[in-house]
Structure 1
Amino acid sequence: MNESTRLSAQDWARAALKAIADGGLAAVAVEPLARTLGVTKGSFYAHYRNRDELIAAALTEWSRGHGADGLAEFAAITDPARRLRELLTVVVQAVQPLAPSVHLSLLGDRNDPRVRDAVRRVDQARLELLARTYRELGLPPDRAASRARVAYGAILGLQHLAQTDPDAPRSAVLADEAVAVFLP
């Protein structure tokens, strides 16, 4: 098997996402990614015509995995209190000190229409699930939408703080606090 068939287009997209997490769109470059993946540029060109196609594929991969498709497991939980508890616990426990974040890195490139669209899709899916959950917990629609925004903002804020604070509290403690604050 030659090297161009060993790696899939998805392997390249995932490597691009890691690069984005580490340094934004500017970090997506074919030669460094090929070195990281242990292949030559020929493997890249077996899947993509150019860097822009790779970026588009990476953003699609990210928005699919972190938007509605990535939330399907939580959306299927019928008890809204359990759904919110599990969602907050999983998301907050995933926040690790000094860990790069695709989402936060993309915000630096928010003027790029591709990035703006991908971030909007992910944010919208997350906010819709949170708002639906709060409505099911009995909040009126306007208040449910506001509570969803505040909860989501807090989660993004924890990601931001974790990027710079190696001494951040353990994620399990933060998850318990998030559940206590955001579960009515």
Structure 2
Amino acid sequence: MRTILYKTHKAGGALAMLIVFSYMKQKGLLVENINPFIQLSIMYPASSFGSTVSDLDLAWCNVKEKTPINYFCHSLIALTRPAHRSWQTHSLIFVGGICSLLYSAMHLISQIYGESMSITLLRMMLIGFICGITSHLFLDSFTMMGIHILPGQMFSFVPHIEMFGTGSKWEDIVFKSLSIGIVLVLLFILKNI
């Protein structure tokens, strides 16, 4: 995994999470008895993980963060024998399926155990993760390779020309734009907390 790609996905996950956090704050959806900065610090690591989980379809030697959870997820993904950016990891089916499965598990857990602080914190982590994994797919749709809408049906917002390739100047522009967006949304959040 190239470093710039990795940084771009991390920035995209952070921006998506900050936008969702800001929306939740504005709509009164944050947990009242937990400091908003604590909620933000719970959502961020999950978003960061989610922003690169789709790229665990790479060979293990190319995975930048060699953590136990990444190894476990990499091993699960490897069972499907995906090529990089295959429909198994870079499609609406994969992202929608993972998000639906995790949401259903969270709902089942809350039904069994009731609402508790632990369940609330898990829900916040889930929201962060969904922000990250969704941002990954969205950002990859702005590369010449694009993403799979369904198996065998590719989609890209940009033409299939080298200028929009991974690691190109285009990606540098996207990364810088995401970084500016992060600063602006953080300033907005700080102003309104």
| TM-score, structure 2 as length reference | 0.27
**Which structure has the bigger radius of gyration?**
1
Q: Which has the higher contact order (CA 8 A, sep 6+)?
A: 2
User: TM-score, length-normalised on structure 1?
Assistant: 0.28
